[in-house]
Amino acid sequence: MQKSTDINIPKVAIIGKPNAGKSTLINRICGKREAIVHEEPMITRDRKYYKTDWNGKNFYLIDTGGIDLKSKKKINAQVLLQAKKAIDESDVIIFVVDLRQPVSPLDEEIAAILRKLDKEIIFVGNKCDNINGSFYTEEYLKFGFGYPIKISALNGINIGDLLDEVVSKFVNLPSYTGEHDNKEAMPPPGICILGRPNTGKSTLFNTIIKDERAIVDEVEGTTRDSIDSIIKINDKDYKFIDTAGMIRKKGKGKDLEYYSELRTLEAIESSEISLVLIDSTTGEVSNQDIKIIETCVKKGLSTCVVFNKIDIVDKITLDNMIKMFELKLKFYNYIPFLKVSALTGKGIKNIIKMIDTLIEERNKIIPENKLNNLFKKLEKEDTGIYYKGKRFKIKFIKQIKTAPPVFLVFSNMDAKRKVNITRYIENNIRKNFGFIGTPIFLKFKY
């Protein structure tokens, strides 16, 4: 298993102490809210990759957690590890400081680390929102990086100058070709890993991609942003997205967990496959588990329920949980289950096989003659479906879309909101043509 990367596209890491404005700068460069921005420091904990371009030149931005070298907390040590990995794999480094604040010991320690590197360093002074404001520019000259490029990530001031400087560094890179990639390649299927907090999503994500990209810790809500990684398995590309745990929140606005849930929903929107993780050790099926699955079905994702942590749960508890799920998901009985241990790797190969199956099923095309012959045969053999004494009949049916499959049904009555009719059609399609794990959508004309 190996990562699929664009080896000739430069990587640019954004480094700085907590709350220096790194995520705001990411959002400004990418032109949309990619990274979570919040007043609380240390929000960006994992390293994230964003492909962007400037003046026809592609590059990856690597967003990292704020570096806090003094912290003794385990989670902050892991953030530091992520930042070091980003530094190691980057070609160019943007060192961001807050010019409104005097030089801190942490700024000095980061500068000392960067001075030892044989890499292109771009020194940036952020939060210069007012040209006449009071800044500590002269203090930062002792770092040896020269005068910082003064920017305001929040207001977009001098971002163009910064990007000009970034792309000018690419010509010095041995692997850079200077070419803009204009080829329209089919994007790899997006697979999002979902579930309540602390179900083992990040552990599964790391096991699959064979790299400590997502921080794993025993505190609920560790993964606050969604992070993705494109990997190659058996000569096929897949994009795995690890998301913040979905948990119902009443608060909105600036609530951090609210932003994380929004990002999870965005990950669902951009995915085709969902792996919904269940913590087998809880011995229960929550309404939130069902809500997550319902959200995936509503958004058209092919779904597999994955019972995790089977290495530390007894067979009776696991079997009872599966039976509970089957009862609660009786209208989604086409959704498959898998049993794995993300920690030990048991059952992981079955996940990849299942993903391939789901991709195949959601892209399946059923010929019109087979569909129409099926329902003509059923009309003769079945007692049929009736509404207000009138028998429902299909005049013609055809598949009009894949991924997910959509069928257009011409009938003798308006059946759009008649659940018994829609289930009759869907159940017979599934019985004869499959569509494992994949929602089916029906459109009616009469």
Taking only the tens place, the pLDDT of each residue in 209-236 is: 775 444 344 333 344 445 567 777 888 8
pLDDT in tens, 124-159: 999 999 877 789 999 999 999 999 999 999 999 999
Q: Find tokens 């299942």 and name the residue.
A: 354
* Cβ-proximal residues to 175 (8 Å cutoff; 6+ apart), any chain: 7, 8
In order of their start, the domains of the chain are: 8-172 (3.40.50.300), 190-362 (3.40.50.300), 368-445 (3.30.300.20)
Instruction: Tell whether the model's pLDDT for residue 349 goes beyond 70.
Output: yes
What residues contact residue 119 under an 8 Å CB cut-off, 6+ apart?
87, 90, 91, 92, 93
In this predicted model, what pLDDT tens digit does every residue of 166-206 receive, in sequence order?
A: 999 988 776 555 444 444 445 688 899 998 888 998 889 88
Residue linked to tokens 């810790």? 217
The residue type at 9 = I
H/E segment holding residue 406? strand 406-411
Residue 182 β-bridge partners = none
Which residues are paired to 276 by β-bridges?
194, 305
Q: Which of 295, 269, 270 is nearest to 196 (CA)?
A: 295
